[in-house]
């Protein structure tokens, strides 16, 4: 089992940047594929980005491709989401998620993840 804690959210102006972090408990973080999702008011939770266990494979939603970067540091049990060129429509609660997998699989469906953090609020003002 793994517990996830997000941090790094906040209020930023359009065009600005934020880096979200997700710290995982336990000694087996490197055996988990990780993902970021977001929940905006009035919308369903949507996929943002995912990274495989080694960090060698990543995949992004079209809406964030070229602006967001997912990465991980297995020595620190942490996955990151660097968000640049933020837009008001990026405003949401951002969640990280984990699923045990040491293959090259990438998980874009929220149903594929077993563990979730509590979320961190990102607000982008215009």
Q: Are 73 and 81 in contact (CB under 8 A)?
A: no
Give the pLDDT mean for 18-47. 95
Q: Are 58 and 50 in contact (CB under 8 A)?
A: yes
Query: Cα–Cα distance between 23 and 96 in angstroms, integer?
Result: 9
What is the β-pairing status of strands 92-100 and 32-39? antiparallel
For 17-29, the pLDDT digits (tens) are: 999 999 999 889 9
Q: Over the chain, what is the mean pLDDT?
A: 96
Determine the straight-line distance between the first and last CA of the chain, rounded to whole angstroms: 40
For 52-100, the pLDDT digits (tens) are: 999 999 999 999 999 999 999 999 999 999 999 999 999 999 999 999 9
Q: What is the pLDDT of residue 118?
A: 97
């Amino acid at each position: 089992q793994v517990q996830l804690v997000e941090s790094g959210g906040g209020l930023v102006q359009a065009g600005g940047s934020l880096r979200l972090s997700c710290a995982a408990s336990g000694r087996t973080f490197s055996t988990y594929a990780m993902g970021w999702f977001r929940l905006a008011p009035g919308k369903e939770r949507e996929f943002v980005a995912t990274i495989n266990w080694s960090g060698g494979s990543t995949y992004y939603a079209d809406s964030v491709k070229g602006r967001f970067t997912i990465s991980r540091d297995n020595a620190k049990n942490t996955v990151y989401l660097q968000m640049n060129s933020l837009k008001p429509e990026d405003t949401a609660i951002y969640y990280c998620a984990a699923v045990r997998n040491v293959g090259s699989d990438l998980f874009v469906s929220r149903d594929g993840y077993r563990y979730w953090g509590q979320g961190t609020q990102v607000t982008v003002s215009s």
